[in-house]
Amino acid sequence: MVSRVGNWLPDDPKVLRKWVNKKVQQVKANPPVRSDVVKEFEDMVIADPQLYMLFNEMLAEVPAKYEKDPAGHPEIRDLNLLFDVFDSILLEAPSWDSSAQVGTPINAVLDWPMGTKAGFAAFLNPKVNQQFQKMLTTWAQFLVGKDSTHTLNTREGGWFSQTALNSPHMKDLVEDFGVDITKPAGGFLSWDAFFTREFLANRRRVAFPDDQNVIVSAAEATPFAVQRNVKLHDTFWLKGQSYSLDHMMNNDPRAEQFVGGTVYQAFLSADSYHRFHVPVSGQIVDKPAIVAGTYYSEPLLTGFSPDDGPATPDPGADEASQGYISAVATRAVVFIQADNPLIGLMAIILVGMAEVSSVEITMPPGKHFQKGEQLGMFHFGGSTHCLCFRPGVNLQFNFPDNIPGPDNTIQWPVNSALASLVVPTTAA
């Protein structure tokens, strides 16, 4: 069984089968009225010969061996049904299923098509990503409204159900966040307000606040990778997913300062804390760049046609491709000047994954902050992020070397001690 990074999709494909099958059956029984934003997307695909070919081919290219999606039910092979499913998703807030948590429902539907050559081409297309952005913006407008609270309750499928509260990341919901589940919608005005909830004071104390040689975790996140001696340009789409600084930082000339340095990447879970904090004391140098990018692109190496070796398509879509998406996905690039001169300039790359693509930076540029202060938040869920350090910043991370990776489930608490700066000793 393949582990799903961050619990965005269920670990058990049979569980996801039930969810997707239920969704498809609901749509077939009661097709939704085509919304303007989905109709615009559908019309664009049908009118553009290349996109029409790619979208039809990505539904047909899934090999016979994979004629069923990761959930085990027949793949969606019809374009009209695909857009019907998109429309139905825009009318609902994610629910907590007693047997399946699907934090990114569109991702679930596109799982196998993302692994095809046609899907690879389609989901890199700027016009397609512009339409996804419009569609997800429409969904976001629903998720910040009062009607989106329909899944914030104690009933089966609700986020406050006993099943939900028994899960690892939700079991301390009351103690950590002070949520009163006896109130309507737990007191939240929208589903997004619930997902961007804040910890109670002192629930995540800043580790070693006066020691500037200690870097704290920027998010409630699970370590994915640590790469040292990173390059300005590298093959981020091949095995190993080497970090490519120039692409990650959207061709910012400051990327050259990080060549030979270190990149740490970690991912947030679907049911966890979705705000991020500053890992060091200092200030944001200038206005963070919000980079338009992809939403459902994964490299060929995790699909049906890898450059070498047998095909091992990722049943979690882009979840095992986080190094890759750091260079191509929608993201925010934040440069921070640390107070500690041994750290100096560092960067945080806040990367959207699939539906989770909205990044809000709340810390203004030029304002001095202490490590552990809030920097911003991901809306509508969580995502992945990278901390980038220049060469000469020698970091000793506080987890074993075998911890980072797609199968890791150990979550590092926000504001806890992530790494320590190894300070060179001066000869007497």
Say if residue 381's pLDDT is above 70. no
Residue 312, pLDDT score:
58
- Alpha-helix runs per DSSP H in 206-248: 245-248
Say if residue 407's pLDDT is above 70. no
User: Would 260 be classed as within a structural domain?
Assistant: yes
49 and 119 in a common domain: yes
Averaged pLDDT for residues 88-102: 72
| Half-sphere exposure at residue 231, Cβ-oriented, CA atoms within 13 angstroms | 7
Assign 48 a pLDDT band (cuts: 50, 70, 90): very high
Q: Alpha carbon 86 to chain centroid distance? A: 19
**Sign, CA torsion 25/30/33/39:** positive
Averaged pLDDT for residues 247-268: 97
122 and 25 in a common domain: yes
Burial class for 166, CB neighbours closer than 10 Å (0-12, 13-18, 19+) = exposed
* Interatomic CA distance for residues 412 and 11, integer angstroms: 21
Assign 395 a pLDDT band (cuts: 50, 70, 90): very high
Say if residue 213's pLDDT is above 90. yes
Final residue of a structural domain among 169, 197, 225 = 197
User: Would 316 be classed as within a structural domain?
Assistant: no
244 and 169 in a common domain: no
Residue 357, pLDDT score:
63
82 and 153 in a common domain: yes
Assign 402 a pLDDT band (cuts: 50, 70, 90): low
What's the CATH code of the domain at 225? 2.70.70
227 and 125 in a common domain: no
Assign 424 a pLDDT band (cuts: 50, 70, 90): confident
Say if residue 304's pLDDT is above 60. yes
User: Would 104 be classed as within a structural domain?
Assistant: yes
Most confident of 6-15, 106-115, 323-332: 323-332
Angle, alpha carbons 410-238-220 (nearest 5°): 20
* Interatomic CA distance for residues 333 and 9, integer angstroms: 27
Residue 325, pLDDT score:
92
Residue 280, pLDDT score:
98
Q: 359 has which bridge partners?
A: 378
User: Would 108 be classed as within a structural domain?
Assistant: yes
- Residues in Cβ contact with 215 at an 8 Å cutoff, skipping those fewer than 6 apart: 279, 280, 343, 371, 387, 395, 417, 418, 419, 420, 421
- Residues in Cβ contact with 394 at an 8 Å cutoff, skipping those fewer than 6 apart: 421, 422, 424
User: Would 310 be classed as within a structural domain?
Assistant: no
DSSP 121-166: HHTT-HHHHHHHHHHHHHHHHHHTSGGGGGG-SSSTTSTTSHHHHT
Averaged pLDDT for residues 351-370: 86
Percent above pLDDT 70 for the chain: 84
| More confident: 23 or 68 | 23
Residue 63, pLDDT score:
72
400 and 281 in a common domain: yes
23 and 168 in a common domain: yes
Burial class for 254, CB neighbours closer than 10 Å (0-12, 13-18, 19+) = middle
Averaged pLDDT for residues 240-252: 96
Please give the tally of structural domains in the chain: 2
| More confident: 316 or 337 | 337
User: Would 333 be classed as within a structural domain?
Assistant: yes
Average model confidence (pLDDT) for the chain? Answer: 86
Dig out the tokens for 27 from the structure: 């749509």
Contact present, 418 and 17 (Cβ < 8 Å): no
Residue 209, pLDDT score:
97
Final residue of a structural domain among 133, 164, 197 = 197
Tell me the pTM: 0.88
- Spatial CA neighbour of 351 closest among 309, 388, 315: 388
- φ, ψ of residue 415 in degrees (nearest 5): 70, 0
Residue 4, pLDDT score:
45
Dig out the tokens for 125 from the structure: 């297309």
116 and 227 in a common domain: no
Contact present, 110 and 116 (Cβ < 8 Å): no
Q: 225 has which bridge partners?
A: 265
Final residue of a structural domain among 197, 224, 251 = 197
| More confident: 108 or 225 | 225
Averaged pLDDT for residues 349-372: 88
User: Would 72 be classed as within a structural domain?
Assistant: yes
User: Would 193 be classed as within a structural domain?
Assistant: yes
Contact present, 359 and 290 (Cβ < 8 Å): yes
In terms of DSSP bridges, do strands 417-421 and 374-379 run parallel, antiparallel, or are they unpaired? unpaired
* Interatomic CA distance for residues 323 and 352, integer angstroms: 12
Assign 315 a pLDDT band (cuts: 50, 70, 90): low
The residue range of the domain holding 242 is: 214-293+329-421
Say if residue 1's pLDDT is above 60. no
188 and 270 in a common domain: no
Say if residue 74's pLDDT is above 80. no
Q: At what angle do helices 36-47 and 79-89 cross, to 10 degrees?
A: 160
168 and 24 in a common domain: yes
Of 51-60, 105-114, 160-169, 306-315, give the lowest mean pLDDT range. Answer: 306-315
Say if residue 49's pLDDT is above 70. yes
Say if residue 353's pLDDT is above 60. yes
369 and 403 in a common domain: yes
107-134: pLDDT as tens digits? 878 888 888 999 999 999 999 999 999 9
Residue 30, pLDDT score:
86
164 and 267 in a common domain: no
Assign 319 a pLDDT band (cuts: 50, 70, 90): low
